[in-house]
Structure 1
Amino acid sequence: MKRLFVLLLLAAVPACQHASAADAGHGPAPLDVRLAAVSLEPIAHPVSGAGLITARREMDLSFKVGGVVSQVRADVGTRVKRGQVLAVLDTTEVSAAVTQATEGLRKAERDLERVEALHGRGSMPLAEVQNARTGVAVAKAGLSAAQFNVAHSVVTAPSDGVVDRRAVEPGEVVPGGKPVFHLSGTGTGWVVRLGLSDRDLFAVRLGAPCTVTVDALPGESVPCEVSEIASSASAGSGLFEVEALLKGGPELRAGATAKVQIARDVKLPSIPVAALVDGRGDAAAVFLVQDGKAVRRPVKVGFLYDDRAAIASGLDGAEQVVVEGSSRLREGSPARIAAATTP
């Protein structure tokens, strides 16, 4: 019995020594992983927004002077040409003002002739001559103002366009300066005005190409370019207004909803989406392999495109990331790089 115990003890010693050697010298077997290169090529990532289609030039038209409207010659939807008369005032009052100013000028000129003649005979001081000359100048200015009011007793189209709104009827008394028509000019083209956040705005430049799609025209897109960028944000929305000028395309209507995509190249490192682990919102992590060990690196995802992720931060100095086998890795896990590397 004692001899059997000794034999069992001697048999166990080599086994223990072998296990201790395995623990001390070898450790867990390394996990096979494949790597993917971190791409530093610019990424085409358009800025998107929505807005309304409007004429590039929009105008509120009004009479310069008030009065009674005698004629209205345009309605909503009327296409007009530059110089076309849209509405006319009754000119009885303004014409009378011209007659009054004309007679006033004639009187001032007669007064001046009389004063100059008296001054020539030495019976009128120079100051009276100067006053008479001033009276003539004032009368001429009054006549010019009256004639200007007559000329502007009509509303004419300042450019080719379409009447979008009419706010006047024949016989109505309107004050000077009150808008009676709203005109969308068609000679300067159509635009889409959209609001962008400051983050998107700084990636947009004047002249950048873009495309416009309209819900009413599915499957069609219209080329455009960025024609204006606001220098300050809107007080109400906090967004910056950007104007996209349309180039050609089908006939459009003011007020139609349009979506705009502005071309933009983003310079961010990108990796395959499969390389990301522990994703939560824009926070995630990737694994690198350094000296045969897995190194976990937290990253911030900028955006996803196709099957790749643009990384906003966290990949400084990294050239390759684990793309296969990362789900089994932990910080410090032994890792063995497979022969093939994913591009």
Structure 2
Amino acid sequence: MSKIKVVVVDDSALVRSLLSEIINKQPDMECIGTANDPLQAREMIRELNPDVITLDVEMPKMDGLEFLSRLMRLRPMPVVMVSTLTEQGADTTLRALEMGAVDFVAKPRIGVASGLQALGDEIVEKIRIASKARVSRLVAPPPSPTVPRDDSQQPPARPIGMRLSTEKVICIGASTGGTEAIKEILVELPADSPAIVITQHMPAGFTTSFAARLDSLCKIRVCEASDGQRILPGHAYIAPGGKQFHIARSGANYVAVVDDSPPVNRHKPSVEVLFKSCARVLGPNAIGVMLTGMGADGATAMKEMRDAGSYNFAQDEASCIVFGMPKMAIQAGAVHEVLPLKSIAKALMEKVSSAGGVRHRI
């Protein structure tokens, strides 16, 4: 079996050395070259034809995002970004994912050597996933960075008493490639859509920026979930990175529960945790959606949702970056419909409309 060929691009000699060492310890991959700036990387990619590159966000001579944009327009290939755990680093990383990067690794600001070594298993797993990912050519530059939303431009929402199926809750799980998949669905939903709860595999420090970016783009309101928060129609709640997120009932209301319970399926947040609570608390009021991602997190719980009466969708293989989590949910017998990503938002609203006896326009 041929090894996964990796080129490491980073302006830090220490990081290049550490990443090379981590990669070369794996029996199924090798670091075939390192570059200290994008110009050197460009020549190395032409010469060595790697399967995956790791790319630092902050680079000399050419910004990492600019290099990524050019790469994905001219020679699309799997890229794993190496980002810093800062608010600015999180925003930049989200931009990189919009441009087509498969995934990212968040390196610590201090203790880089020990921090990267501790992240060794995560780094090589993401490289393996990236090597099998579907990447596509970047046709146009993505939107400008997040700006605060102007609610004066938003269409008026129906009063609470007139909302369509206020008891319905859309429950979404995703991993690799999920940030863009979630965005594509949420931007299409109307302001009076049912409540939406989301678990996207993402570390602490990144979900706040992710929620803010979505909130600036969507008709619905989007926020990072907080413990005890009421789950309301017209709002989406994203599991905070590094925490577990599930829902509970408090009287007539659904509320968010955010806690520090252990990882499940090695994930924190875990789709399994959210979907189990949806099966238990929502029953037939749930509509499940499994999007792109590696592994099987959430598949068993999604089957529990179906058994409890929910109606479930999965993203199809052709539109997934990684057809792992949807595939496992389908194999588990958890899914009613398998759809291309671009069709899911419309299907969700049609399902909600039929349940409420009213048709939404989307």
TM-score normalized by structure 1?
A: 0.19
TM-score normalized by structure 2?
A: 0.18
| Structure having the higher Rg | 1
The structure with the largest strand share of the pair is 1
